[in-house]
Amino acid sequence: MSRRGKIVLGVLAAVACVALFVVAALYASLSGGWDDAFRPKKSETDSDVREAREKAEPEQVQRTEQLMASVRAALGTALQSADEGEPRSECEEGQHNWKIDDEYDLRCEHVTKVAVRIRSGGASRRAALHQRLVRDGWSVDGGSGIQDATGFAMYEAPGYQLQIQAASRTLELTLRHPYFEG
């Protein structure tokens, strides 16, 4: 091959490499960056996620029992029933695209729901529950708590989030405890 043919071949190879790099860069930027293009995604079934869930379960059970003790103490004889749902695990995959790049690939939390029915005095009982939760270390996350007229409140304690949706004589409590983010 002549010298000129080698130069042409070299230039074509360089142009092909640049084009390949541009396509790879475009793919990586649209999929959330270089790290997300080459790293395997996390899953609920990964061993480190399972270990974190198993380690956090007893704490979630204990916190749920403490929450129910607070509910019983605050509502007293006005408590008609409290139906605790099965605790479950919820995981959310982080988004990694051209618009959003979450700091996590997978975020998991334990979720326990409790339906509480009150015999009477809904507003005053909600206020009593609010006072008891604050006394037990929960802080209001925006708004003024469960005694608020909206009927929705968020409380926080270290490592936990409590959402309460209130109707006239019913409270739906959702206790959330994140156990994995990675």
Question: What are the tens digits of pLDDT across the range 84-128?
Answer: 888 899 999 888 777 888 888 899 999 999 999 988 776 788 888
The answer to whether 173 and 68 have CB atoms below 8 angstroms apart is no
For 72, 117, 133, 151, 154, the CA distances from 66, given in Å and listed in that order, are 10, 18, 10, 22, 17
Task: Report the percentage of the chain scoring pLDDT > 70.
Answer: 87
| Residues paired with residue 153 on neighbouring β-strands, in sequence order | 164
Q: What is the rounded average pLDDT of the residues 48-76?
A: 92
Dist. CA 100–CA 95, nearest whole Å: 6
Whether the Cβ atoms of residue 110 and residue 177 lie closer than 8 Å to each other: yes
The whole-number pLDDT of residue 108 equals: 95
Q: What is the pLDDT of residues 161-179, one digit of tens each?
A: 999 888 777 889 999 999 9
| Whether pTM exceeds 0.85 | no
Cα separation, 86 vs 72, in Å, equals 19
**At 34, is the pLDDT very low, low, confident or very high (cuts 50, 70, 90)?**
low
Side-chain half-sphere CA neighbours of 126 within 13 A? 22
